[in-house]
Structure 1
Amino acid sequence: MLPKDFPFEGTACLADTRGNLENPAPASFQSGISVISGWACDAEGIEIELDDEAYLAAGYGTRRADTASVCGDTDNGFGLLFNLNLQGDGMHKVRALTNGRVIDSAEFTVTTLGAPFRRGLSGTYQLPDFPERGQRVSVTWQQSQQNFTIDAVSSAAVQAVTADIPRSNPVNAPLGRFENPADGSSQSGIAIISGWICEAENVVVEMDGIRTFKVAYGTRRADTIKVCGDANNGFSLLYNINLLGEGTHTLRLLADGIEIDRSSINVTTFGDDFLKGASGQYRLTNFPEPGDFTDLVWDQARQNFL
Structure 2
Amino acid sequence: MEKINNVTEFIFWGLSQSPEVEGVCLVVFSFFYTVILLGNLLIMLTVCLGNLFKSPMYFFLNYLSFVDICYSSVTAPKMIADLLKKKKTISYVGCMLQLFGGHFLGCTEIFILTVMAYDRYVAICKPLHYMTIMDWGRCNKMLLGTWVGGFLHSLIQVALVVQLPFCGPNEIDHYFCDVHPLLKLACTDTYFVGVVVTANSGTIALGSFVILLISYTIILVSLRKQSAEGRRKALSTCGSHIAVVIIFFVPCTFMYMRPDTTFSEDKVVTVFYTIVTPMLNPLIYTLRNAEVKNAMKKLWGRNVFLEVKGT
Query: What range describes the TM-score normalised by the shorter chain of this pair?
Result: under 0.3
- Which structure has the larger Rg over C-alpha atoms? 2
Q: Which has the higher contact order (CA 8 A, sep 6+)?
A: 2
Structure whose residues are more often helix by fraction: 2
- Tell me the TM-score normalized by structure 2: 0.24
